[in-house]
Structure 1
Amino acid sequence: MNQPFTHPYLPNTAPDVKQAMLDATGAASVAEFYADVPDELRLSRPLDLPAPFPAEQDLARHVRGLLAKNRSTEDRLSFLGHGTYQHYVPAVVDEVINRSEFLTAYAGEPYEDHGRFQALFQYQSLMAELLAMDVVNVPTYDGYQATATGLAMAGRITGRRRVLVASDVLPAKYSKVADFVRVHLDLEHVPTVNGTADAAAIAARLGADVAAVWFETPSATGAVETALRAISDLAHEAGAIVVVGTDPIGYGVLTPPAEQGADIVTGDIQSLGLHQWYGGAHGGFIAVADDPTFIMEMPSRLFGLATTDVPGEVGFGDVAYERTSFAQREEGKEWVGTAAALWGIAAGVYLALMGPQGMADLGELLLARPRYAQQRLAAIPGVVLADGALHLREFTVNVAGAGLTAEGVVEALRREGIEPGVVVGEHTLLVCVTELTSQADIDRLAASLAGLATAADASTTPVTTATILEEQNALVSDAVLPLAPELTQEQNA
């Protein structure tokens, strides 16, 4: 039992190799490397893994069996979102990023990878145009890290600690951001009203110690923030920086946060040409204006144009490289890796293919189709919308009045080949509708949910669709372009 174990898949588990590594680092045991991990997060038992397979073909068969248990959202009717989304990925995106000169997560170096530098420069340029910002970074790991970095930048710039969280944030994102900034910043969530920021409550909490006001738009429930300009003005008067976490998929039709007072815009590019892939290929972006105060606080790599010794020729390389942890090493303000560079190229190809008109058409669909879904679901007796905000792509419904639970809905409809959404409360379901969701798909969801409600003998009178739409339309202001009054037949198809 106490004999040293050498795992056949892990060469570094051999006792002599492990001891050599410990000697080189000066550690007495492997446990020293995990001293900072709290006891409650440690596994106090061995991993529940099968015995090692001595033959490679047996291991391959075992893994294939495990993978066969997966069910893709391409195989089922899916209304799943909550941070990872099912958007259409043009075939040319996969073709380009699978080319050998691009197929690595690493960003490359100028003496060997001018092509990758140029592709990422073009991605940055397209993102800057979409977001109405001047400077966009080479992708960092994911949108969670990007938003955390944006808040850390605000803390360093202002020298303050307090951050007002103005929107409903994905729980996983809030947890990650809070962990990332906990040494330097204190997060204070301000409850929302009807799905969006409470301007009066934020104004009451602003003070000389507030480093940033953090918005998420769309929020965790898909609500679009329509008071961003007014609250941004209040934040700036108090000397605070406005940091917005967002998904760029809607900015062919929505007014970008930069044009509503945002100083730092962050988010994830998974929606731009990246598959869901059982959890998603994620990459984070940080966008700022052409202001050294902000640019020099960005820890990420930036690629720009540079002149060469050959007249008329330009190259592509790092901009203000001295900012980065690559240059400063342990003296850097924040460590940044290059694990998402390939996804930046994918997003660049996607944006180049879509163009301004394509992004505008897509944005209209992502507003119109969810509204149609809201109409259909809210017409079911006992099913009501959780708020009256304007929603992009996602919204929540409460099924308590229909005598149902969210878990019960998921379990029942899953047997019909439908993933109806993500459970976010005992009676609350988050429903996601994208351009891949047809009117027939929405009607099928509504019919199945109505069947469950009928079986539960619900007696609650539903909120009328007219009331819901009246509340939604009242929220449409200068922050967004006007919606078409009704879905066209083409949009319904």
Structure 2
Amino acid sequence: MRYLPLTEADRSAMLETIGAPDVDALFSDVPEEARLTGPIEGLPMHASEMAVEKHMRRLSKKNLAASDAAFFLGAGAYKHHVPASVDHIIQRGEFLTAYTPYQPEIAQGTLQMLFEFQTQVARLYGCHVANASMYDGSTACWEAVAMASRIARGKKRKVVLSGALHPHYAEVVKTMAKFTEDEIAHASPALQAQPDNDGLIARIDDDTSCVVVQYPDILGRVTDLQPIADAAHEKGALLIVVNTEPVALGAIRSPGEMGADIVVGEGQSLGVGLQFGGPYLGLFAVTSPKHVRQMPGRLCGETVDAEGKRGFVLTLSTREQHIRREKATSNICTNSGLCALAFSVHMTLLGEKGLRRLAMENHCLACHAADRLAKVPGVSVLNDSFFNEFTIRLGTDARAVVRTLAERDILAGVSLGRLFPNNAELADGLLVAVTETTTEEDIETLASALEEVLS
């Protein structure tokens, strides 16, 4: 029996209260061509459980798994080796408690893990304090923008986004800003060896609440953030730095060292597999203690009980589930706890030296790949600097090349035409990512296939 508690009168009263003429108006943001007007064509109205299972198995065989191909995809989601011990440890009884510790006194394992996780993220980012994680990197990016607006007390509403910020992150910021008074100043990236930092700085004015940059950026470029931080601070704005590849911070300077006020990012690379796009892990940290109370989410802290024994507590919870909605910094209701645990376990197993070795292995393999691909006729490497991801130009539409190579079980990278579909100047760009899972044979396979396709 369907559970439909509302009458037509109830619906009419609700629509009248919110000022909507009908239910369809609630879906006005969904393009008409994406809305269903009836049953899905070609899908049977019913089928047996066994028939559905058989059909789904047939569909699954159409997938090309990352482990079954020469894999060079990146752009914010990276294929790294996750030790089997990570999965073993996160299933231990200490962590199989409630998914979020509403009663901290009975979730000490979870709280201690989150405390250690926060410490690891803060050290990785070069910041004073980190929170107990967010949903993913893109939503963490928006929460940082909203936090900067709160710190500015609404007196500054301009948000300057770097053109080299991941376009999906930029779209999340623009989408959320529809419901605030923030003005988003955005630009498109240019296919050049170094990002246009001077152009970015020129867009910062007295009305700017924050500047958002990516490090390394969407084209894989690594740049000194200090001049941007100085320019932002001169105008009373905050510098927000987005990092989508935490392994990179085992080899390059942390954003906090270069003047970042808020550092956010995606933690998927450590402990969390690709998993068809999620769930992932948002990281969030600040450099100044005075900004801690404006952070979204939750913070765990260490204390002692009445008997002097070490214990862990929820030190700060500024989310609406714990306090009045109008006092909350965010409507985030939980965190990616299991992913945070996997991140922390993987980071602990690596240690500082292990992370640095992993980073150097990634970089060395990427350098080898860039050198080899640069020898392919028609291919040019854009970057002067990069970590494990760089951009090449093919002289032809990269999307067509990517599709052709995928048919040969080579996932050649992410075409910039896919990331920036409205910018024809980027159409021949291909973003190539290389990690420790990439072999020299994979690199040679890609290079040879490009030589054949581009000839």
Partner SS for 1:85: coil
Q: Equivalents in 2 of 1:48, 1:361: separation in Å? A: 51
Tell me whether 1:37 sits opposite 2:31 in the alignment: no
Structure 2 residue aligned with 1:437: 438
Tell me whether 1:354 sits opposite 2:350 in the alignment: yes
- Checking the alignment, whether the CA contact within 8 Å between 1:254 and 1:363 is kept in structure 2 is no
Tell me whether 1:382 sits opposite 2:375 in the alignment: no
Tell me whether 1:398 sits opposite 2:393 in the alignment: yes
Structure 2 residue aligned with 1:62: 55
- Checking the alignment, whether the CA contact within 8 Å between 1:197 and 1:227 is kept in structure 2 is no
Partner SS for 2:260: coil
What amino acid is aligned across from residue 214 of structure 1 in structure 2?
V
Distance 1:328 1:34, change over 3 A: farther
Of the three residues 411, 425, 432, the one matched with 2:403 is 411
Q: Equivalents in 2 of 1:47, 1:86: separation in Å? A: 38
Report Cα offsets for 1:26-76 as digits up to 9, x if no partner: 424999666443265350423527235454333333333333322210111
Distance 1:360 1:79, change over 3 A: same
Tell me whether 1:232 sits opposite 2:224 in the alignment: no
Report Cα offsets for 1:451-475 as digits up to 9, x if no partner: 2233xxxxxxxxxxxxxxxxxxxxx
- Checking the alignment, whether the CA contact within 8 Å between 2:362 and 2:388 is kept in structure 1 is yes
Equivalent positions of 1:305-384 (< 5 A) are 305-311=302-308, 313-321=309-317, 323-331=318-326, 332-384=328-380
Distance 1:324 1:339, change over 3 A: closer
Structure 2 residue aligned with 1:241: 238
Structure 2 residue aligned with 1:75: 68
Aligned length: 430
Distance 1:373 1:244, change over 3 A: same
CA positional deviation for 1:24: 12
- Checking the alignment, whether the CA contact within 8 Å between 2:240 and 2:264 is kept in structure 1 is yes
| Sequence identity percentage | 32
Distance 1:73 1:449, change over 3 A: same
CA positional deviation for 1:290: 4.8
Report Cα offsets for 1:115-168 as digits up to 9, x if no partner: 111111111111112222121111211100101111111111123111122341
Distance 1:398 1:343, change over 3 A: same
What amino acid is aligned across from residue 41 of structure 1 in structure 2?
P
What amino acid is aligned across from residue 362 of structure 1 in structure 2?
L
Structure 1: runs of 5+ lacking an equivalent: 1-10, 455-493
- Checking the alignment, whether the CA contact within 8 Å between 2:398 and 2:415 is kept in structure 1 is yes
Larger displacement relative to structure 2 (272-281 or 96-105): 96-105
Distance 1:200 1:319, change over 3 A: same
- Checking the alignment, whether the CA contact within 8 Å between 2:97 and 2:110 is kept in structure 1 is no
Q: Equivalents in 1 of 2:298, 2:214: separation in Å? A: 24
What amino acid is aligned across from residue 393 of structure 1 in structure 2?
N
Q: Could you tell me the TM-score, scaled by structure 2's length?
A: 0.88
Report Cα offsets for 1:278-337 as digits up to 9, x if no partner: 224311111013513x111112111111221122x121111123x222222421232012
What amino acid is aligned across from residue 247 of structure 2 in structure 1?
I
Q: Equivalents in 2 of 1:305, 1:185: separation in Å? A: 37
Structure 1 residue aligned with 2:182: 185
What amino acid is aligned across from residue 408 of structure 1 in structure 2?
A
Distance 1:82 1:191, change over 3 A: closer
Q: Equivalents in 2 of 1:205, 1:409: separation in Å? A: 36
- Checking the alignment, whether the CA contact within 8 Å between 1:141 and 1:340 is kept in structure 2 is yes
- Checking the alignment, whether the CA contact within 8 Å between 1:168 and 1:195 is kept in structure 2 is no
CA positional deviation for 1:352: 0.2
What amino acid is aligned across from residue 11 of structure 2 in structure 1?
A
- Checking the alignment, whether the CA contact within 8 Å between 2:135 and 2:280 is kept in structure 1 is yes
Tell me whether 1:204 sits opposite 2:202 in the alignment: yes
